[in-house]
Amino acid sequence: MVTDQRYRVLIMGGGQLGSRHLQGLARCRHRLEVHVVDPEDVALKLAASRWALAEGIETCHEVRFQPSIVGLPAELDVAIVATTAENRPLVVEELVNHVTIGSWVLEKVLAQSHEGLDRLCNALGHSSDVWVNTWARTTGWYETIRAAIGKGPLSVEVEGESWGMACNAVHFLDLIAWWTGEQLVSVDCSKLDPRWQPAKRPGHFEPSGELRANYASGTTALFRSTPPEIDAPAGTDPIERMTIDTATSHWVIDRPFSETDGKASDDAGNRITGHIELQSQRTGPLVDEILSTGRCDLPDLATSVAQHRRFLTGLLLAFPPLVGVDPDRVPIT
């Protein structure tokens, strides 16, 4: 243990992603009092079941499951907000008005509209300890690839079968910005397929087709996806390939989101194998770093909001009108 002090950590949203965050906290070296909040009893039961199965559970941790923020301690050290993008601004506002929080980790996509981004900034703009969980820049494999390819400008392409561009492209947008040191300038969504498909989460949608991103010093990125498959087989890696062209080399990354056996190779015969980590493997070290140093390697709120604004601007122009959907909101999560 780092210290005998008990730190208070909140997880807002106990569903699929929130429960994985909870599993990750099992490996924290700091002693934790964890509060998992979700209004849905099924989500709390899922989180409790996954906590019971978490590897390396430290008996010093305490976990409490509750349906609302009523009864939370007046002060929390870290809050992880793993709700849907639709609810995230409201949840953050309620937390800010109810408790004092030292550090924040927000899940992406941050919000479904520019108004939602404004609300997050207004609620959290006073704090410098707010990060967004676009975790690619914290992945050791990607860091090794970054050193091998050098800085930009780059020409990047990402393709796969129904890989969920609306909810996953922001990972790549941030990764490329980190690789090159360039700011994202625009996201062109004019070549998306005109019909968006219903996503697995009711009331949400996923596009297929092409997205093109442009960066400040000339880097470009092209994302391609086939229409979403609601019943796609479990355990597959829908993002098949990422290619990177530099001034002097051509790189191919097979299965860039692989959790087991990804491979990057260039035309000179260099090869870098690796994989991404599960969220249940990332959260513990992340929270330990925040509690120990007051910082982490995730992008801060201002950096992420700037990227999200470009992304949402393009998506809003392309999203087809639907009855009952606010034209200023794109229903992605």
Token code pair at residue 288:
């330990």
Same domain flag for 26 and 106: yes
Same domain flag for 203 and 107: no
Q: Which of 119, 111, 132 is nearest to 300 (CA)?
A: 132
Same domain flag for 223 and 100: no
Give the tens place of pLDDT for each residue, 93-128.
999 999 999 999 999 999 999 999 999 999 998 777
Q: What is the CATH number of the domain that holds 230?
A: 3.30.360.10
Q: What is the CATH number of the domain that holds 99?
A: 3.40.50.720
Give the tens place of pLDDT for each residue, 3-62.
678 999 999 999 999 999 999 999 999 999 999 999 999 999 999 999 998 866 656 899
Tell me, yes or no, whether 29 lies in a domain: yes
The number of folded domains in the chain is 2
Same domain flag for 165 and 228: yes
Residue 91 has pLDDT above 70, yes or no: yes
Same domain flag for 162 and 259: yes
Same domain flag for 246 and 285: no
Tell me, yes or no, whether 287 lies in a domain: yes
- List b or e across 150-171, with b for residues whose CB sees 16 or more CB atoms inside 10 angstroms: eebbbbbbbbbbbbbbbbbbbb
Question: Who's near 236: CB < 8 A, 6+ residues apart?
Answer: none
| Owning domain of residue 124 | 6-135+280-299
Same domain flag for 293 and 244: no
